[in-house]
Amino acid sequence: MAKVRSIGVFCGSRMGERTEYLDAARRVGRAIAAADCRLVYGGGDVGLMGGAAAAAAEAGGAVLGIIPDFLIAREGHLDKVEVRIVDSMSTRKKQLIEESDAYIILPGGTGTLEEVFDVVSRQQLGLHDKPIVFLNTAGFWAPVIELINHTVREGFTPQSLADHLDLVDEAEAAVAHLVEMMG
């Protein structure tokens, strides 16, 4: 594996019900900047994704936001970061995946789940071997990891895929783990 230069952050465009989620998102952004990596995200200035990206930018880190043109009126975008405007959600997700050397998954809703399962499926198919870390703030991702383990036990997913999905409780440890994995 090559050295990690860009970390894709998948997370909610909403804040969620717990203050811990936004705190963790901001800590992830600062940790990515401190690791001298670029934060790649969905481009909006709202929710957890906006919090993570703003924290990275405030800490002097590089940030790439990728957002479909139709979402700008709804989600805005951060000033003073690189913003790439694309034509569709599919193009956004494709570029988020391509621009990232590793992925950190924070709490989020159906859009985040869709991104998660796309990147995990691509790994299972051998289309990439990039590390994936779930930031398990307040136990958020434990049910999803259990679901994946259930698909392993039932013979639908290889154990090797489940072995590549790491569940980490602290933001700084999650980023450090990705950087360490990619040496």
* pLDDT of the residue at 182: 74
Tell me, what's the pLDDT at 75? Answer: 87
- Residue 137 vs residues 72, 110, 133, 134, 152: alpha-carbon distances, Å: 28, 17, 12, 9, 24
Q: What are 62-95's pLDDT values in tens digits?
A: 999 999 999 998 888 888 899 999 999 999 999 9
pLDDT of residue 108: 97
Contact call for residues 175 and 35 (beta carbons, < 8 A)? yes
Provide the pLDDT for residue 32. Answer: 97
For residue 51, the model assigns a pLDDT of 97
Low-confidence residues of the chain: pLDDT under 50: none
Report which of 171, 100, 180, 109 is spatially closest to residue 135, judged by C-alpha positions: 171
In terms of CATH architecture, what is 6-182? 3-Layer(aba) Sandwich (3.40)
**Segments making up each domain of the chain, as ranges:** 6-182
Radius of gyration of the chain (CA): 15
pLDDT at 175: 95
Helix pair angle (47-58, 19-34), 10° resolution: 40
